[in-house]
Amino acid sequence: MSTTPRTVPVAGRALPSTPWLVGILAALAGTVVVAHDRVVPLGYPLWGLFRNGLDLLVYRSGGATVWTDAGLYDHALHGGMWFTYPPFSAILFAPLRAFSPDMTSLLGYIANFAFLYLVVVLCWRQLGYRPDRTLYVVSALLTVIFTWLEPVRTTIWLGQINLLLMLLVIWDLGRPQGSRLRGFAVGLTAGIKLTPALFIVQLVVTRQWRAAATAVATFAVTVAIGFAVIFSDSWAYWTVTLRQSTRIGETAWPANQSAAGVIARWLHVAEPPRLLWLAVAAVLAALGMSAVHLAHRHGQALLATTMCGLTACAVSPFSWGHHWVWFVPLIILAIDRAFRSSRAVAFALPVALAAPLLCWAHQFPDGVWAVGLFMIPAPTALVPVFAAVYPLLFVVTAVTVVATLARRRVEEPEVSPQTSCDLPHITVGSREGLGPTPVA
């Protein structure tokens, strides 16, 4: 048995509140507000930040079918778009019928800003920072700044639910192991949109059996509710519709930032060779889950959850750019690392992470706007890189996490899952610094 002194994280560090830091964040937030109107004008029809909401209106139309005999998957809905989520999600969207399309879009915009803010606050809390005025102010400024990341802007622009799902998962898995019904939100999000089911794999890989069982049971309940409320639609989805990937879009479309999309574009084909895609996806899944496992062993629960979210985006057959909102907690983790460093150069890491994610925009002669590195024209030599920018960033991140944590010694016992392993430590046996454990 190791005789190394056991370590316990000290509760409640404060976020830095130096005037220069808050000033820089405020200046960046102000710049983002201006950029939202100057780059792609807010009032520009269809392309302005608050001039779309297409996906949310598709959700509304899907929810409306629950009240009627119209088939959920039999025909295209709002804007000629198909409903592609499980039947349970349509049941949750059913109350949206009470609101007009314009009111639905407005509520969606407001909700997504709130979800993003809560994600930022939760991340700081799970990293061990105390909930004071500085934390809330910094979180508000970062919320504005993060809207200039393409995944976040596109989520808000389309009225997508990515930020809500991420919020639920981070909240659920950030709670201490043994918390009541931990895993419930993971199962719930998997029932709304299948991709979060990979977080159940995270719970299995990290041997959190009780939470994994809760997640599986919750997911099963969502399926059962779907059959109980809209049986024919549920039968159609689970037996036929689920396999019809053409409902989602073209695999080779630049906005599909999954491994499948990258392979298709690199090979200049409409669909990637199935065996090749499965092999690449398996390698990426193994790499990502290795990062998840190591992060969990070292007590870095938020990093583990973030890496799982990014892995899900990489291996899913379709991962539009807006699915990659999991870069938000990754950037927060990088900022946290910079705060803990005594060198100003440490802030280069979050800047480097954010740079390829920004709303790089280009307007074509027909008035269509393209937003995101993968959508804009690129120099010939950089076309393959731009076409795969998010998966490549994931690979670099996962390799870095695995290489770094594999060399690091694991202290005993491991830090509780709601805090970061990099928190200030005290030696057990000494009374200095003892205090209550932070609550996530």
Per-residue pLDDT 10s for the chain (440 aa) are 333 333 334 457 989 888 998 999 999 999 999 999 999 999 899 999 999 999 999 999 999 999 997 899 999 999 999 999 999 999 999 999 999 999 999 999 999 999 999 999 999 999 999 999 999 999 999 999 999 999 999 999 999 999 999 999 999 999 998 898 999 999 999 999 999 999 999 999 999 999 999 999 999 999 999 999 999 999 999 999 998 877 888 999 999 999 999 999 999 999 999 999 999 999 999 999 999 999 999 999 999 999 999 999 999 999 999 999 999 999 999 999 999 997 889 999 999 999 999 999 999 999 899 999 999 999 999 999 999 999 999 999 999 999 999 998 776 444 444 443 333 332 333 323 323 333 33
Nearest to 422 by CA among 439, 433, 408: 408
Tell me the C-alpha distance between 233 and 247, whole Å. Answer: 15
State how far the Cα of 340 lies from the Cα of 337, in Å rounded to an integer.
5
* Residue spans of alpha helices (H) in 174-300: 184-192, 198-205, 209-229, 231-239, 259-267, 274-297
Count of all residues that appear for the chain in the document: 440
Three-class secondary structure of residue 422 per DSSP: coil
Q: How far from each other are the two terminal CA atoms of the chain, in whole angstroms? A: 31
Domain boundaries defined on the chain: 7-427
**What is the rounded distance in angstroms from the CA atom of residue 159 to the CA atom of residue 110?**
10
Three-state DSSP state, 268: coil
Residues 6+ apart with CB under 8 A from 401: 291, 294, 295, 303, 307
**CB contact at 8 A, 144 and 32:** yes
C-alpha 155/C-alpha 269 separation (Å) is: 28
The secondary structure of residue 49, as a DSSP letter, is T
DSSP state of 342: S
Question: How far is Cα 238 from Cα 255, in angstroms, rounded to an integer?
Answer: 26
- Helix/strand/coil percentages in the chain, nearest 5: 60, 5, 35
Instruction: For residue 115, report the phi and psi dihedrals to the nearest 5 degrees.
Output: -60, -45
Q: What is the pTM of this model?
A: 0.90
Q: How far is CA 217 from CA 101, 180, 296, 361, in A?
A: 35, 14, 23, 43
Contact 344, 180 (CB under 8 A): no
Helix runs in 127-208, H state only: 133-146, 150-158, 162-173, 184-192, 198-205
Tokens of 4: 């190394």
Other C-beta atoms closer than 10 Å to the C-beta of 148 total 20
**Element (H or E) spanning 369, and its range?**
strand 369-371
Taking the CB of residue 43, how many other CB atoms lie within 10 A of it?
10
User: What is the rounded distance in angstroms from the CA atom of residue 345 to the CA atom of residue 37?
Assistant: 31
Sign, Cα dihedral of 201, 206, 207, 211: negative
The residues, ordered by sequence, that sit 6+ positions from 132 with a Cβ below 8 Å of its Cβ are: 14, 15
Tokens of 391: 């998966």
| Cα separation, 359 vs 152, whole angstroms | 9
CA neighbours closer than 13 Å in the CB half-sphere of residue 192 = 19
